[in-house]
Amino acid sequence: MNVGIACYASVGGSGVVAAELARCLAARGHRTHVISTDPPFRLRESDGGVRFHRVETPGYPLFREPQYLLALANRLVQVARAYRLDIIHAHYAIPHAAAAYLARQILAGGSADARTVPRTITTLHGTDVTILGSDPSYRETVAFCIDQSDAVTAVSASLRADTKRAMPVERDITVIPNFVDLDDYRRRTDPSLRARFAPSGERVVIHISNLRPVKQVDAVVRLFARIRERVAARLLIVGEGPELGRAEQLIGELGLHPHVELVGEAQDVVGLLSVSDLFVLPSLQESFGLSALEAAACGVPVVASNVGGLPEVVTDGVTGYLHPPGHTSEMAESAIQILSNPELHARMAADGVRLAAERFSADRVVPQYEELYERTLSAH
Coil, helix or strand at residue 325 = coil
Alpha-carbon distance of 280 to 320, in angstroms, equals 10
Q: Which long-range contacts (CB under 8 A, 24 or more apart) does 140-143 make?
A: 140/168, 141/94, 141/98, 142/93, 142/94, 142/167, 143/167, 143/168, 143/169
Is residue 161 included in any domain, yes or no?
yes
The verdict on 355 and 370 lying in the same domain is no
Please indicate, yes or no, whether residues 257 and 322 belong to a single structural domain of this protein.
yes
Asked if 206 and 96 sit in the same domain, the reply is: no
Would you say residue 184 lies in a domain?
no
Residue 248 lies in a domain: yes
Higher pLDDT, 283 or 133: 283
Q: For a pLDDT cut of 70, what percent of the chain falls above it?
A: 91
Q: Which residue has the higher pLDDT, 267 or 342?
A: 342
pLDDT above 60 (res 65): no
**Are 24 and 165 part of one and the same domain?**
yes
Higher model confidence: residue 349 or residue 126? Answer: 349
197 and 151 co-located in one domain:
no
Q: What is the span of the domain harbouring residue 371?
A: 2-178+363-378
Residues 33 and 130 in one domain: yes
Burial zone of 69 (CB within 10 Å; 0-12 exposed, 13-18 middle, 19+ buried): middle
Strand order in the sheet with 302-305: 260-264, 233-238, 203-208, 278-281, 302-305, 320-323
49, part of any domain: yes
Task: Dump pLDDT digits (tens) for 152-211.
Answer: 999 999 999 988 888 888 889 999 999 999 999 999 988 899 999 999 999 999 999 999
Number of domains in the chain: 2
Say how far apart CA 361 and CA 380 lie, in whole Å: 30
Q: Are residues 211 and 300 in the same domain?
A: yes
Q: Where are the beta strands (DSSP E) in the chain?
A: 2-6, 31-36, 50-54, 87-91, 119-124, 151-154, 173-175, 203-208, 233-238, 260-264, 278-281, 302-305, 320-323
- Residue range 325-364, pLDDT digits in tens: 999 999 999 999 999 999 999 999 999 999 999 999 999 9
pLDDT grade for 139, boundaries at 50, 70 and 90: confident
Instruction: Specify whether 37 is located in the same domain as 149.
Output: yes
The CATH number covering residue 75 comes to 3.40.50.2000
pLDDT for the residue numbered 46: 55
Alpha carbon distance 177, 97 (integer Å): 19
Measured CA to CA, the distance from residue 104 to residue 69 in angstroms comes to 14
Residue 320 within a domain: yes
Q: Are residues 172 and 211 in the same domain?
A: no
The answer to whether residue 300 is domain-embedded is: yes
Query: pLDDT digits over 308-334, tens only?
Result: 999 999 999 999 999 999 999 999 999
Is 183 inside a domain boundary? no
Judge if 228 and 315 occupy the same domain.
yes
Residue 147 clears pLDDT 80, i.e. is over it? yes
* 14 plus 158 within the same structural domain: yes
The pTM assigned to this predicted structure is 0.91
Whether 208 and 153 map to the same domain: the answer is: no
Residue 219 lies in a domain: yes
Judged against a pLDDT cut of 50, whether residue 112 lies above it is answered with: no
